Amino acid sequence: MRKRILVTFAILALLVTACDDGNLQIETLDFDSVSAESCDSPITTSTSIFFKINGDEVLILDLASGLLANQVTEAPRTSSFPTNSSLTYRIFNGSVSSSYFCDDIPPISPIVIEEIQASAGTVMVSTSSEDGVTFTHTIELEGVTLLNGTNERITDLSINEFGTVTTTN
């Protein structure tokens, strides 16, 4: 009887402490506290790649040509994912810096653990100007669907406002 109790206890302890590191589960994306960056300085209307870094997570936005234009908009310019623009979410095995994206030869670490492409959604760019020389572009995301490798949707996408960038005429 004592042997059966010990075996049962050992099995329960094993089940309770076992974990599966192979299933990476993402429940929330929160990039609100970080600013959009680009490797281009200054940012121009031909700049298309923007990224947001949050520790070991990155959102990479590749805008379709013509979304950044030095013209004030009444309605936002739009582009859809993945047809014309793309949005990529990456998880790394360590913290990432802008040099990962901007150096001529990217560093070998950190390493990408998982990369997920947006399978649906829209990017909208609204442009305003106070003086006709400097243009402020507000980039927003809507209806983004990110599916991981097992076709599970990432929930609680807090990434509606991607950021604001400025260009000059």
Residue 85 burial (C-beta neighbours within 10 Å; 0-12, 13-18, 19+): buried
32: phi then psi, degrees, rounded to nearest 5: -65, -35
Q: Nearest Cα to 135, choosing from 77, 59, 51? A: 77
Model confidence band, residue 1 (pLDDT cutoffs 50, 70, 90): low
Q: What is the pLDDT of residues 81-102, one digit of tens each?
A: 999 999 999 999 999 999 999 9
Instruction: Tell me the HSE value of 9 on the side-chain side, using a 13 A CA sphere.
Output: 6
**pLDDT more than 70, % of the chain:** 80
Whether the per-residue pLDDT at 134 is higher than 90: the answer is yes
Measured distance CA(147)–CA(10) in Å, rounded: 38
Q: What is the pLDDT of residues 7-52, one digit of tens each?
A: 444 444 444 444 444 444 555 677 888 999 999 989 999 999 999 9
Q: The pTM is what?
A: 0.79
